[in-house]
Amino acid sequence: MQSRTAYTSQLLAYRDEIVFTDCDIREYWDAELSLNVDRDINAGINIKRVGLGLFPTLKRRKGNLVVTNSTTNSTLKEVLETLKMYQKPTP
């Protein structure tokens, strides 16, 4: 049985996309939004989503993770505001 918090540190909180595929990846640069996403802050947001019952269901199909039952569109604005607030300044 899968833990309720499985994949919270791998799934991008505002796009339902697995981007943190390796533990060495600590940040993700989203060129479209000019946003630098810290893995730990992203995971914290996802853990909160789990607690609120808003984290999507993830299933394995042919070895790949597939997102189902997503509520990301309803939380997108709040998630992006949080990520921008905690964004590290770029050098």
Give the single-character DSSP code of 81.
H
pLDDT of residue 91: 56
pLDDT of residue 1: 45
Model-wide pTM > 0.85: no
Give the single-character DSSP code of 20.
-
pLDDT tens, residue order, the chain (91 aa): 456 678 899 999 998 888 988 889 999 999 999 999 999 999 999 999 898 888 888 888 887 888 877 877 777 888 888 888 888 766 5
60-67 contacts at long range (C-beta below 8 A, 24 or more positions apart) = 65/7, 65/18, 67/11, 67/16, 67/17
